[in-house]
Amino acid sequence: MRLLVDLVAQADAAPDTNFHHKVRGRIWRALQGTKFDDEHGNGTSLGLSYSNIFPWGSMKAGDERQFLLASPREGLLATIAENFRDDREFNIGNRPFEIDALRALDVDVGEPGTRGVIETATGVVVRLYDHHRDEYGIDGTGHEGTPTYWQPEHTIEPFRDAIVDNLQEKHDRFAPEYRPGPAEVDEPLFEGHDFLKTYALPVTVTTGTEIKMVVSKWRLDYRVRNDTHRHHLNLALNTGIGGRNGLGFGFVNIVEKTTPDRSELEGENAFA
């Protein structure tokens, strides 16, 4: 499930690339005093991902912007929406907004047989620790006990496996026990991994603590095999992929989707 937030800028402002903790702070302000408040800083996934404020760039007072949140926990999004209705102030550092409208969206990868492409709207954080480096033969000299951020020279395998392992943890937390997770099936989560770019940026993770993260962006091809695979893909849409989702990383969107009936027609008329 997704929550689309329509925003109106209240002042002229330039873009701020180190904004992630400020958005996180506004979300947790919405959860203060609720049943979700105890989950703040407990080390487990909240099951929430969110986009950047878009379109990106400088803004003038009166400009319209939007913001998306996603979660498999409808109650969580409903609680946030209730606060956003009561408290329309949405100030992200030097970028003040007012919430104009809220809409619930139901986004689904599609029934079995559906083909599509999922694209990362925000950078994906994949951290490789000592055991990952040992498994894939990645040089960790000088990084013992600290992560190495995935980069193209590490090859696709550690990225692919880390995404699945991370999603398995979210599956264990939010999915029914009877359904196997993405790391418990033989088939891959995605059929194709089209690497777009990697880049580094400074991120404030807690007040007064800034680190440099290396993130990557992707186009990920899929074909829904069955209902279990559909659940895995929809879970990725709702929780984000990779780590640091609580700071807005790993948010994904469906950018292409072809239903099974359309696929059959394309096949029949491919050379017409």
Catalytic residues: 40
DSSP per-residue codes, the chain: -EEEEEEEE-S-B---SS-HHHHHHHHHHHHTTSTTGGGTTSSS--S-EE---BS-S-B-TT-EEEEEEE-S-HHHHHHHHHHHHH--EEEETTEEEEEEEEEEE-----STT-EEEEEESSPBB-EE-HHHHHHHT---TT-TTSPEEP-GGG-HHHHHHHHHHHHHHHHHHHS-TTS--TTSSSS-S-SEEEEEEEEEEEEEEETTEEEEEEEEEEEEEEE--SHHHHHHHHHHHHH-SSB-GGGTTT-EEEEEEE-HHHHHHHHHTTT-
